[in-house]
Structure formats: C-alpha cells, structure tokens
Amino acid sequence: MTTLTGRRLPLGPGRHLRDGRVPPQPGRLPPRTGLRVPLWPGCRLRWTAPLVVAALTLLGIGAAGVTAPAASAQTNLLANGDFSDGSTAGWTCSSGDTVVTSPVYDGSSYALAGTPTSSDDAQCSQVVSIQPDSSYTLTGWVEGDYVYLGDSGTGGTDTDDWTPSASTWTQLSASFTTGSSTTSVTVYIHGWYAQPVFYADDLSLTGPAGSGGGGGSSGTQPPAAPTNLTVAGTTSSSVSLSWTAPSGTVTGYDVDENGTEVTTTTTTSATITGLAASTTYSFTVIAYNSAGQSPASSAVSATTESSGSGGNGGGGGSGLPAHILMGYWQDFTNGATPLTLADVPTSYNLVAVAFGTATTTPGQVTFSLDPTLASDLGGYTQQQFISDIQTLQSRGQKVILSVGGADGTISVDDSASASSFASSVYSLIQQYGFNGVDIDLENGVDPAYMAQALEQLESDAGSSLIITLAPQTVDTQSTGDDYFQLALDIQPILTMINTQYYNSGSMNGCDGNVYDEGTENFITALACTELEGGLSPSQVGIGLPVSTSAAGSGYVSPSVVDDALDCLAAQANCGSFVPPAAYPAIRGVMTWSINWDASNGYNFADTVAPYLATLP
C-alpha cells in the first residue's frame, strides 16, 4: 500500500511493488503507452505529419529534412473493435457488458461499458485468426479503474497492459510474438471484481492475418443464429441439448445458461452438467467464426429431474461437471515437477492452489507466490499467475484457494477470527479471481465458528462460491467429529468433502469393521460413513495420492481408484466390502498433487478422469 495525505491507496491487483519504485499513476503512463501531451481540459493533440511540419515552421526550425511517415496499411484483425454496430457482436462478453453512446473515445459513436460484480470482472474476449511466428500489437482506449487489456494462447509469452485509474481516455498497449504452431489467439478486455463501471473503445490488433482472415477484412461474415434448439434429455444434474447449424462458416458454439456462458463446443450438441435437481433452466446457443458471433438462438427451457440418490445437494457447483477430478497445485517446491498454473491439464476440473497461510491476526489468511517456485519457473510473476487463473477459467476449469495444509496454523475459534477469515479470503478472491476456498486445516476446526466464517464468505461472494473440505480420516469417523459436523452445518453451501484416505493407518468403516489403508475396502467403507451419515452423494469425494512419492502411505493404483468409484456408484467391482446402497451421484476424486502427477506422466489423471466421465 502507498500512503498519500493520510489515505491508503491500493497499488492494484497483483501489483505489490517491493523495490521502492512508484507504480504508474494516472497521467504517468508506462513508456509503452506512448506520448501524451497535456493541453487544456478535453483536448488531445494528434501528431499528424502536416501538423509536425507546421509546428516546426512556427518554431523557426523549418520543414527541410522532415519526412512524413509512410501511411500504415495494417488492418485491424478484431471484429467490431470499435463497437460501431452498436452491440458486442464479434465478442464473447459477461452479462454485465453492454454498448453505450456516452462516453465514447474521440470520433467514435459507441463504446463498451463493463460493470464488474463481486464475482465477475466483466470480461469481453474474441478469438482471432493469426499466423505462427509473427509479431502483433494490441491497443485500446479505456476509462475507469483497474482496466486490463491482454492476450492469451499466443504460444509464446502472453502479455497485457492495465491502468489502476483512468479518469480520461487512456491508451493501453501490448505486443506479442506467436509460437511456431499458433494459428489463433484470444484477445480480452476486462475490469476488476467489485470495481466501478469501466469503458473501452477503439480496440485494435495489428499484424499478419491468419487463414481465417481478420475482423477488418471482407469475405467471411458472422454466422446466422442456430435453429431448432431442443432438449435431448435430462437427469437430476444435467441437461442435454441439440440444435441445427446455421448456414455459412461456423467455428464453434457458445452455450448460455440463464444468460451466462457455461460451455463451448464445435458440434451441434452439448450436455450441461453440475445442475441442481428439480430446477428449471433457460438455454440459448450462439455460433461464432473469425468474423464474429451470431445472434442468440431462440431460448429453450429444461427442468432437471428430482434427485433419487438421497440427501440435499449443496451450493457452489455452477460450471462444474457432475463428477469432478480435483487436484492441488503446489505453490512451493519439494521434488515434484514445478508447474505454472496454465500447465495444469484440462483433465483436472477443479484446481486448488496450495496454500493460503496465516498472518499475526487470528483467522486472517494471506497468499503470495513462493519466490523459489517463481525463480524455478523462470520468473513467474503474480500478474502471470492471475492471467493463468483466467486462462483455466476460460477452459471451463475452476480455481480455488486452499488454506492450511500440514503446516497451516490458521485458527478460527471465535466471532472475531471468523469475521477476519471471511473478509480476508473474500479480499483474495477479489484480488486473484479465485472461484472459492478449500479448508485443509489439519490442526482441526471449530465447526460452529468455521461455519459462521464460511456462511459470511458465501454471503459476500455469492451462491456460485465453491467450498470444499479436506479432512483427515480421524476427522470424519462419526457425525460428531469436527469436520463431519462442519460439513453437515454448511451442507446448503458445501460443494464437496474429500477425506484424505492416506497417511492414516487402519480405521473403522461404516459397518464397524477395521480396514487397512491402501486398499479398495478402506476407501469404500470409510466413504460409506459420510454417504450414510446425512451428506448428499453429490457432495462426497474420495481423496487419494497420485503416487508413492506424494504421500507416506495409502497409495493405490489409479485402476483401484476406478474400482472404488464403480463400487460406490453401482455396487460393482467391490472388494469384500459392499456398500448398503449404490450412490450414482458420487461427486468424484481429489488427489495430492497435480505436480506429483506431472512427475509421473499424468498417469493418475489420464486413468481416473476418463472413468469419471462414464459415471451417470
């Protein structure tokens, strides 16, 4: 934080300067944004060649030797980069984005207006066809606080530019070079969570156009709207849709649920998972190509079936599939393969960043990138980390912050520490863009006060907040144990509980018998305790290590994990223990860790994720 005349001013998301430098302030732009000459309020001087000559003549310098720059023939590759058609056509935008006639950048008729919320940064993005091994420049004019312009999927180093505060139109600029096999790139503009409305105009991407053409070229036109959208089937947690392709060139389709994009596909069908039972949803489909988006199809409504698996589903499942593979990403080094967040494969639906840690204030949580990891990754920065979170989210993955771990000392044992926990985690969610929180406090929890903290956090962040728990086996032997009690207390907002079936020793199963860890019986008999103890099967996962290197004991091969899932979901492929019922809605698998899986060639994810996809 920087102090000025008694006020504490934020440096901006991801911009914690520790070397004494003053961050860019309004009116003091980074060098790459170019020259700004202050004149009088509302006036901006554009330095055309005739104006330069006239100015030099007026100063007595003369025009001799002054050569006018060659006219630029570069084409804007963005479709509707100036929003001149009065809509966001060509862009994939958040529901809070619209087009306005005021304010607009000089000479424009329309501008983008983005309204962030506590859970949405009001992003608009566009996929652009480009060429490999080529250089590109992205520019745009913005007004507002914490506005970001950037690119992703370049195949090289993704770049961005941002401003902490622009009270007048300010230019942002970023340049990148594509990789040897890159043929498309995503360009995005967004604000920041819970910040005021921002405006953007005259967005431009220049460089060699790809084979799909550019937004400013003629030829390819945006497709017409898809037709005949119908409901092909429903379950208690999913809706299957099909539609007819429009005429013309179509690259893919965006499927919107109640006005929010939930998935993309290149075919004319899609299944939306992770839905609540006995709930009505409205869906539309939008086609897109390199020239832009189609209008939305006619809407169709679908009601999910009632749950036949017992219990009540929890919250925070929006955008997650019915069956999840969750893994931990290590913000530290310990012999496992170091990874950037963007390196995580899409087989992991839910990624937990490990770990948020305690401060000297009881209950308060903080997080920052481990400097050793950052160095091992060649200088991995906090802004790259934030961009990587957005990259995973654009793939349909969710990213949450895990707090605690084996060395975690966070304690929430009264109302004050509960409030500190909720407010600090919410601040980190706003700063980094996390989708939720994982509780991995291995020194135990106070169920009453942790429930109070999580309920306050869910109230602040909204119903889409993902909440997961990662207890040890001793914490869930009965409904009176601390984590089991916490899970029952927060059941309406709990996404998933993943007991760690490793580093445990022998424990009791739901039938009262003792089972040895490292066996299918151990996993299924202990999971049965939670499944029969009042939790919905859609909230219960099984936690296992990916390899013998990842845990001291309890490892089973991925094929045994698949057998345990089959046993719990369908009472098939069981060991000597057979659960008293089938739980087809069993939520999935948690594993420690993605980094250790990478060290083992992703054998765990490549085996378990495809099997999860076969469950009903």
Closest CA to 333 of 366, 368, 379, 375: 375
Peptide bond before residue 459 is cis, with ω within 30 degrees of 0: no
Told to judge if 143 belongs to the known catalytic residues of this protein, a careful annotator would answer no
> Mean pLDDT over residues 267-285, rounded?
84
Cα–Cα separations (whole angstroms), residue 430 to 199, 328, 360, 434, 460: 20, 21, 22, 7, 11
Closest CA to 177 of 134, 141, 212: 134
Q: Is pLDDT of 307 > 60?
A: no
Strand partners, 436: 400, 466
Range with lowest mean pLDDT among 52-56, 102-106, 438-442, 549-553: 52-56
Q: Residue 422 is encoded by which pair of tokens?
A: 């909720």
CB 155 within 8 A of CB 197: no
Query: Cα dihedral sign for 260, 262, 264, 265?
Result: negative
Q: How far apart are CA 99 and CA 20, in angstroms?
A: 40
Q: Can you list the domains of the chain with their CATH numbers? A: 92-206 (2.60.120.260), 227-303 (2.60.40.10), 324-612 (3.20.20.80)
Predicted local distance difference test score (pLDDT) of residue 294 = 81
| Pairing verdict, β 97-100 and 514-515 | unpaired
Residues 6+ apart with CB under 8 A from 356: 365, 366, 367, 401, 402, 403, 404, 410, 425, 428
pLDDT digits (tens, 9 = 90+) for 143-162: 999 999 999 889 888 899 99
Tell me the backbone φ, ψ of residue 405, rounded to 5 degrees: 85, 180
Residues written for the chain = 616
Residues 6+ apart with CB under 8 A from 19: none
Amino acid at 66: V
Q: What burial class does residue 354 get, using C-beta atoms within 10 Å of its C-beta: 0-12 exposed, 13-18 middle, 19+ buried?
A: buried
Range with lowest mean pLDDT among 73-87, 504-518, 595-609: 73-87
Q: How many Cβ atoms are within 10 Å of 310's Cβ, its own excluded?
A: 15
The residue with greater pLDDT, 442 or 84, is 84
Q: Which of 305, 442, 455, 532 is catalytic?
A: 442
Predicted local distance difference test score (pLDDT) of residue 24 = 36
Residue 278, phi-psi category: left (phi > 0), alpha (psi -120 to 50), beta (remainder): left
Closest CA to 267 of 291, 292, 241: 241
Strand partners, 589: 325, 542
pLDDT digits (tens, 9 = 90+) for 61-109: 443 444 433 333 468 999 999 998 788 888 988 877 899 999 999 888 9
Tell me the backbone φ, ψ of residue 328, rounded to 5 degrees: -95, 130
pTM for this model (two decimals): 0.54
Rg, Å, the chain Cα set:
26
